[in-house]
Structure 1
Amino acid sequence: MPLPSAFAHWFDGVESTRRAAGLRRELSPRPADSPLLDLASNDYLGLSRHPEVVAGAVAAARLWGTGATGSRLVTGSTADHHALEDDLAAFTGAESGLVFSSGYTANLAVVAALAGRGTLVVSDAGVHASLVDACRLSKARVEIVPHADVAAVSAVLRSRSEERALVLTDSVFSADGDLAPLRELHAVTSRHGALLVVDEAHGLGVRGDGGRGWVHECGLAGDPGVVVTATLSKSLAAQGGVVLAAERVRAHLIDNARTFVFDTALAPPAVGAARAALAVLRGDPTLPGAVLHRAREIAAFAGAPRPDSAVVSVILGDAARAKAAADACRDLGLAVGCFRPPSVPEGTARLRLTARASLTDGDIATVRDVLGRVLARSAA
């Protein structure tokens, strides 16, 4: 039976437009034994196949089963969920933690449950899509300010009529890899009685003492005016998300966050893997420094600015040019990210390269060779 004609015609038009702009996307299964050198994933510490992390997932599956069986408020909370929350809070210096099924749902929860009608939300223009969607769901008045513009944040807060206000930022911005001016933002939010919400997805495990995050590095860990979200699927090589905040915030989310109340809990194997990865990180605090060292080597090969995170962004401009460069890297054995609109602004399509602590000197030599060849060809 065919699609309704209105949808078929709409799909045809949208797909044709995207294809002409070089923005058509396709899914490609990743083989378990891929021969490609990976500079595309967010496995920053190289722990996704670490034997202790795999063993943590297996042990949790054997103890609790493969699925969470229900929401956290029904049957989905295990002793391991609570232990992971305690582990993450202690590691990052937060008063409490609350684990979600993904970093996306954690961000939706925080903004939707802490905002609402009669609240102002001030959002950096470069935040992750999950925070963009959270703003749309919040029913609050939302003001988007230029990227990393503390003065603009201050001006909006100063002129507001709403009693409550949230300020949203990533700690490390996912496309460019740059750091948010957290100390300055915190000074502004404190002065104006607002909460600062920081997404540490790309900071946890990479920045801060032993990988405790950019919030911790900025001296803001445990501050009751700061709410931190993070994902367990990057440096911690698992799945899921967490909110790290004051205990009163945690209690409010348990009662009011729809993506907590109505979502099935994080599966026990992911909980076990995340706890094991955190234990590996605690046992080897040199891992974050190794990530930054490799990222800076890669940036030098690519002619990119010296990075302050695991992300190296090589802006090529045109979407088709970026896609062709990414395909050429793949043909030479190197997997790289290709970010095109709407993930990045028009005219800034790019290769997004991500470092890992586990990259070897031989890997780095391969990266140097491939990038040299591909970028020279792209510039010609």
Structure 2
Amino acid sequence: MARTDIHERILAQRRLRTAQGRLRQRRTVARRDGVRLEVDGRWLTGFCSNDYLGLASQFEVGAALQDAAAREGAGSTASHLVCGHHALHEQLEREMADWLQVPRALLFGSGFAANLAVQQALLEDEDVCVQDRLTPASLIDATRLAGCRLRRYPHLDPEGAMRQLRNAPGGAAMLATDGVFSMDGDVAPLRALSLVARTQEALLYVDDAHGIGVLGPQGRGTVAEAGLGVREVPLQLATLGKALGGYGAVVAGDADLVEHLAGSARPYLYTTALPPAQAAASLAALKLARRDDWRRERLRELIEQFRTGAGRLGLDLMASSTPIQPVLCGDESVATAMSSSLEDAGFLVTAIRPPTVPEGRSRLRVTLSALHTPQQVQALLVAIADARERADRAAA
């Protein structure tokens, strides 16, 4: 029997994506200046990044990165358990644990690797991981790596989670959810889910990539906002690459569980540690995130402005109180046309299409930053309304 030719396979897949209008292309950013970025020779106002607090380009953060790189070099040179674990890594883990009010934190190269590590290290073949239907690819892929059973419940439905756990007797169980869902911007019902986890003897794991820095007291995220602690949520993921403006992630929580990850999680053991300079930058960003409540207050004001203005203009928003403000477009051709019109008007707003979101639920994923001005938000609203009118005329 002849083997499948991989090149022929990927060519067929490319033809299909082209026919569907779903061929993805990267945009190259030449320069950044706060929320402004240069793309293809044009300066655009970006409303699509995850830099919610505006820390990625903050002077103190950049200075910390440069100073540490000058002292410590460009890289860590090894994995954490060989000779790559630097004092700056150790300090960042301690500071993150103190901020989140948990016993221990463990630094990873990315949120994707952290999610892989948690399930691979804690779950086995006969176990089950029950997840919200809209959890990210990293949590789904983590279940496949662990080899355990994957069960999914309807979005934001604690009763659905309860049913899935009840129907999966035997073995260990994990209940996994986002804190803030990246495409919809809504928040998981963590208090109800914690009760489900307790009654079903499951470990509740919260991927709070989009909640950390933005929600809760001192920006400690959705777990703190829900009034929960390490007893109810033994492990949570806090990214360093979104509101904190850098790169990497930590898994924080129960000391015994985190210690087990440090000694057995393959995505931690067998990869090079983050550059110490990057840890220094994250430490500087963490200090600002803890201290500067004005950033979160400005975000809240901009979110309220955007939602109020969108309502007046008749835009179809989803139920989100976070910096992620999806504008529903329905058909993906409408979403891409509106995104193109916005770029012509000087704004970069990404169109999110299937398979990232369900058929018929394509959208503009507008994200707000504390660096945006009210004038920029108002100009964006006018441009979206105009883009919608153009799309409607083209479809008529």
TM-score range, shorter chain: over 0.9
Q: Which residue of 2 aligns with 1:327?
A: 340
- Residue in structure 1 matched with residue 153 of structure 2 by the alignment: 145
- The share of aligned pairs that are identical, in percent, is 35
CA distance in 2, matches of 1:293, 1:129: 31
Aligned to 1:42: 50
* Correspondence for 2:21: 22
| Residues in 1 aligned to 2:210 and 2:67: alpha-carbon distance in whole angstroms | 27
Q: Secondary structure at the match of 1:269?
A: helix
> Considering only aligned residues, what root-mean-square deviation do their CA atoms show, in Å?
1.6
Instruction: Tell me how far apart the structure 1 counterparts of residues 73 and 23 of structure 2 sit (CA, whole Å).
Output: 39
| 1:74 pairs with 2:92 | no
What is residue 284 of structure 2 aligned with on the other side? Answer: 276
Corresponding residue for 1:95?
A: 103
Which residue, out of 256, 267, 273, partners 1:259?
A: 267
Partner of residue 362 from structure 2, selected from 339, 343, 349: 349
Which residue of structure 2 aligns with residue 194 of structure 1? 202
Question: How far apart, in 1, do the equivalents of 2:99 and 2:362 lie?
Answer: 36
2:236 aligns to what SS in structure 1?
Answer: strand
Is 1:158 paired with 2:166? yes
State whether structure 2 residue 70 is matched by structure 1 residue 62. Answer: yes
Q: Give the match's secondary structure for 1:201.
A: coil
**Displacement of 1:224 after TM fit?**
5.9
Task: Name 2:35's counterpart in structure 1.
Answer: none
Q: Given the alignment of the two structures, is residue 296 of structure 1 paired with residue 304 of structure 2, yes or no? A: yes
Contact 2:186 2:319 in 1 (8 A): no
State the AA in 2 paired with 1:359.
H
* Matched-pair contact (CA < 8 Å) for 1:21–1:319: no
Question: How far apart in 2 are the matches of 1:224 and 1:75?
Answer: 35
Q: Which amino acid aligns with 1:90?
A: D
| SS of alignment partner, residue 312 of structure 1 | strand
Q: Counterparts of 2:229 and 2:372 in 1: how far apart (Å)?
A: 30
Unaligned runs of 5+ in 2: 33-37
1:225 Cα offset (Å): 4.4
Deviations 1:132-176 (A, max 9, x none): 111111111111111111111112222332231000100000000
Name the SS of the counterpart of 1:362 in structure 2: helix
Count residues in correspondence. 377
Q: TM-score, normalised by structure 2?
A: 0.92
Q: 1:104 to 1:5 in 2, by over 3 A?
A: closer
In the aligned structure 2, how far is the partner of 1:366 from the partner of 1:154? 45
TM-score, normalised to structure 1, is 0.95
3-state SS of paired residue (1:320): helix
Q: Distance in 1 between matches of 2:139 and 2:205?
A: 10
Moved more, 338-347 or 179-188: 338-347
1:340-373 per-position Cα deviation (integer Å, ceiling 9, x unaligned)? 1121112211110001011112212321221221
Which residue number in structure 2 is paired with residue 369 of structure 1?
A: 382
- 1:32 match: 31
Q: Indicate the residue corresponding to 2:60 in structure 1.
A: 52
Q: Which deviates further from its counterpart, 156-165 or 256-265? A: 156-165
What residue is the counterpart of 2:353 in the other structure? 340
Quote the residue 1:378 is aligned against.
391
Instruction: Give the Cα separation in 1 of the matches to 2:233 and 2:210.
Output: 21
Larger deviation, residues 357-366 vs 296-305: 296-305
Q: Which residue of 2 aligns with 1:179?
A: 187
